[in-house]
Amino acid sequence: MAVQAVWLDCDPGHDDAMAIMLAGYSPALKLLGISTVASNQVVEKTTRNALDVLELIGLHDIGVVMGQAKPLLREAALLCPEIHGDTGLDGPHGGPVLPHSSRQALPGKAAIVMFEAIQQQYIRHPQQGRVQLVCTGALTNAALLLLLYPEVKAMIDITIMGGALGVGNTGPVQEFNIQVDPEAAKVVFEAGVPLAMVPLEVTHTALATPAVLARMFSRGGPAGISPFKALVELLLTFFATTYKDVFSFHDGAPLHDPCAVAAIIAPSIFKFELMRVDIETVSPLAAGQTVCDIWHQSSAPKNCRVAREMDVDAFWELMLAAVDAADLAAPMNTPQPTPHAAAGRVVIADRQDC
């Protein structure tokens, strides 16, 4: 299978950090860049977190551009400090735990930088097909990209982590990423671009259980757990604690966002169903709901492939392999001068399901 170019639009975020790791270390993907948006935390913090995650995992050649600080029409973004902490990537005792990157965000507006990168990739490497835009936060940047550059519709597929077929998480029927900017989600879902949605019903099966974490942290060398994996353990411990406190998840936190990346790497591990999905933007009770026509009763065109199931074991094989690859490249494991842009890049071994 040919390598696919991907742009990751995210709001790091503990699970976003794991999504960056998976996108950066899959041999099936070429990560073009990262844009950030205000959702889990304010955009200044999500941008800093994206840069620091790339520093942590040794991907110094991936650029980050700061995206929108506010939704398209609403006054301010919803934030999620009760889950991700004050920094957006807190450790178990609060406050930052990541190594600080000296890099800064790329200059320019996110939609412009995204379009230029996507267009350049599409023109220069037509054999790699359409660029995969993976969105794991609010859809504000994606909506602006589509509104400002409608020609991009011929160049991209979009996969989002977001939405729910039934019960929401930050509202009775609303999933957080869609609820942050319903109007932006409406633009994306009505754009006519090939669209896939990985909803809560699926991502809630990707639990970082004690058994999964034992596998993750027992795969180190003879010296035991590395400094890198010890830091990942701190992050996932905090994430598990907040999910237990807020949502009563007792078996570990769900790694929502890597599921959307996995859907690009190995679509065969998912069961998708094409259906009509509309976005509620008006109701004071349900603004941000993804109204999924499960019974195919709508006469409107089906516009979204909705994931209904995921092979959880196969997902964790992808995720654990990415953690291992990042562990090999992590500068904190072997302190040394910052490598040149392309040095030290390691990818996980090729896999049949990729």
Instruction: Report which DSSP code applies to 234.
Output: H
Contact between residue 141 and residue 67 where contact means Cβ atoms under 8 Å apart: yes
110 contact partners, CB below 8 Å, separation of at least 6: 35, 36, 37, 65, 66, 67, 68, 141, 144
Instruction: Report which DSSP code applies to 22.
Output: H
| Apex 71 CA angle, 67 and 73, nearest 5 | 135
Counting Cα atoms < 13 Å in the Cβ hemisphere of 183 gives 10
Quick one: how many helices (H) and strands (E) in the chain? 12, 10
Backbone angles phi, psi at 92, to 5 degrees: -65, -20
Q: Which helix (H) or strand (E) holds 305?
A: strand 304-310
Residue 149 CA, chain-centre distance (Å), reads: 23
Strands 29-36, 64-66: pairing kind: parallel
Residue 139 CA, chain-centre distance (Å), reads: 12
For tokens 């699970």, the residue is 15
The one catalytic residue in 100, 204, 256, 340 is: 256
Rounded Cα distance, 38 and 180, in Å: 9
14: annotated active-site residue: no
- As annotated, the active-site residues are 256
